[in-house]
Amino acid sequence: MKLTAPLYMLRHGETAWNTERRMQGTKNSALTERGRAQAIAMGRALKAELEREPGPTRFLRSPLGRTCETALLVGRELGIDPGEWRDDPRLAELSYGEWEGFTWAEIEADHPNALSQWRADPHGFSPPGGESHFDLRRRSAAMLADIIASNMRTVVVSHGVSGAVLRGINLGLDAKAMFVLEKPQDAFFRLLAGVEERIACEAVVAAQD
């Protein structure tokens, strides 16, 4: 089955841990000022998109704090009530288990071959106590199937890896190709019928006094 109504995939704005290159997973880090500006810019660009073809729209988000914060900022630009957002745990980020909160440098100090092992087997590799891409793909496929079945235009705010996997399923990619998909925070994607369109957003960060 393929999408017959547009699906807009947004990633949360930049967080403090993003700037430190820390693994977030199921833990949370608040949006930076730049991240909030990115969310507002996505909301404005999305509003223009939705106004081109007015119609009923579902609003879904990961229940993690950074996606909820992003969704509220996006929704404010769209002029929707915050209650229109529905949390779905299937949209949550890949769990990195014991690695969450650590940088790659810190992880590789204890696990020198971690990144190379993950790249060699992106489908089956699992961080200690975490989740494999196989697990993530299974819940992402179920999520996409529900969105397709609704036959309704849908907006999703999720994460870098979980969002890439859902997009990859739409594109018919294998795990290795999903692993290297772009995961921008200054753009979002319009998915439909096995293809996607990248929509850039220009964030304006206020100057510091």
What residue type is 106 in one-letter code? E
Residue 85 is encoded by which pair of tokens? 């957002």
Residue 194 is encoded by which pair of tokens? 């096995």
Catalytic pick among 14, 69, 93, 100: 93
Q: How far apart are CA 140 and CA 144, in angstroms?
A: 6
Catalytic pick among 12, 100, 159, 196: 12
Helix (H) or strand (E) holding 8: strand 7-11
The reply to whether 182 belongs to the active site is no
CA angle 146, 133, 84 (to 5 degrees): 35
> How many helices, marked H, and strands, marked E, lie in the chain?
8, 6
- β-strand pairing of 57-61 with 153-158: parallel
The reply to whether 12 belongs to the active site is yes
- What is the chain's length? 209
Residue 140 is encoded by which pair of tokens? 């992402």
- List residues with catalytic annotation: 12, 93
